[in-house]
Amino acid sequence: MNTTRGDKPAFHDGGHEHQSCIEDALARADDVCRERGVRLTPLRRRVLELVWSSHRAVKAYDLLAALGDAVGAAKPPTVYRALEFLMAQGLVHRIDSLNAFVGCPQPDHRHSAQFLICGGCGDVSELNAASIDRAVADQAADSDFALSRSIIELHGRCPRCATLPPTP
Amino acid sequence: MNTTRGDKPAFHDGGHEHQSCIEDALARADDVCRERGVRLTPLRRRVLELVWSSHRAVKAYDLLAALGDAVGAAKPPTVYRALEFLMAQGLVHRIDSLNAFVGCPQPDHRHSAQFLICGGCGDVSELNAASIDRAVADQAADSDFALSRSIIELHGRCPRCATLPPTP
DNA sequence: ACGGCTCTGCTATAGTGTAACGTCCTGCCG
DNA sequence: CGGCAGGACGTTACACTATAGCAGAGCCGT
Ligand SMILES: [Zn+2]
Ligand SMILES: [Zn+2]
Ligand SMILES: [Zn+2]
Ligand SMILES: [Zn+2]
């Protein structure tokens, strides 16, 4: 695994063996679901696997297409329900600015996350930066605002894509 | 006007005379468009006025319905094109987590904004908190990420709605 | 086996956003 | 003045995103 954990490490390595990312994610998902007494059914597990097929955010209808490879093409509610479950368990996050979904590298504990989204390769990296959380909480408090959910999606260029134009 | 400017002031006052919010916003829009040599046509001005009809974020199809009051109901591209122009000029912001649009209280200068979104009354308040900008920029730099656009949307309860449940 | 629950499949429909083309209007140049 | 280029708007059609509502299948405790 090479997603950042809040201290130093950064974006995904281009040449990493991604199969292990998928296996790790599925193993963590099995664990948290067993601990919580919820059912990671084959369908839900398959959807999670597809979400993790890259480090990019995946669109619901792309999942749908990938699921329906065989004969009986899957219908929208199938994938949306699986995603709803996976989000409720913190196994995937929704990226609102992309209408897409990305796997969470740390589903075992509740956390507020920030996302770095590369406009070049599309890879998404999840941060858990206490400094951002603090700044946000302080500002909310200054406005007497009772914060319940922060959506922080940062668009730009990852180190590998730094050359190309800003974000056309 | 009573939207916060980055220092102390907070959420909108419930009993304020909102007509002046609208007039101020339209006057500012006239100014910036004249200065920039772009055309705030009657349609665009009308859409902006409708966006400012409350401090809530307004959905594109609600604008569409409000425009088409009379005979020839407006079509989607009409309002989306107007919104595209208004966003390009910084006169409105899009709230991605709501698929909706809100007027910007300070269209005269470029700024990165954060939004406080009340789950009770729906009102949206725009912040321009340097402390959040700094924390975000620092974290992006730590990851060698070239930041181009930050989306920060904070959901919760405004002071007046603080009682009700967290966000059902 | 029974009754309650969750998960899944299915149909249909709501909601959100764009492509592509044509017309009109406006400002500009010859 | 006449023609022209570009921008703004209308219109049609379509793509994409998401949910409601109902029916059948599977699981589980009693
Ligand atoms: Zn990987
Ligand atoms: Zn990249
Ligand atoms: Zn007001
Ligand atoms: Zn409120």
> What's the CATH number where B155 sits?
3.30.1490.190
pLDDT digits (tens, 9 = 90+) for A49-70: 999 999 999 999 999 999 876 6
Q: Scanning every residue of chain A, which has its alpha carbon at the shortest distance from the alpha carbon of B128?
A: A139
Q: Which domain does B34 fall in, by range?
A: 17-104
CA distance A138 to chain B (A): 9
Same domain, A122 and A93: no
Domain closes at, from B104, B122, B138: B104
Q: Which of A52, A69, A51, A72 is nearest to A60 (CA)?
A: A51
Q: What is the per-residue pLDDT for A15?
A: 79
Same domain, B92 and B125: no
Q: Inter-chain contact B144–A4, Cβ cutoff 8 Å?
A: no
Instruction: Name every residue whose Cβ is closer than 8 Å to that of residue A56 and which is 6 or more positions away in sequence.
Output: A100, A102, A121, A122, A123, A124
Domain closes at, from B82, B104, B126: B104
Domain closes at, from A59, A84, A104: A104
Examine residue A133 and state whether it is found in any structural domain, yes or no: yes
pTM for the model stands at: 0.91
DSSP state of B13: P
Is the distance between the Cβ of B81 and the closest atom of strand C smaller than 7 Å? Answer: no
Same domain, B166 and B141: yes
Does A164 contact chain B (CB < 8 Å)?
Answer: no
Does B155 contact chain A (CB < 8 Å)?
Answer: yes
Candidate from A10, A11, A97 with C-beta closest to B96: A97
Helix, strand or coil, per DSSP, at residue A154: strand
Q: What is the per-residue pLDDT for A5?
A: 45
Same domain, B67 and B138: no
pLDDT digits (tens, 9 = 90+) for B141-161: 999 999 999 999 999 999 999
Q: E strands along B16-167, which residues?
A: 92-95, 100-103, 114-118, 124-127, 146-157
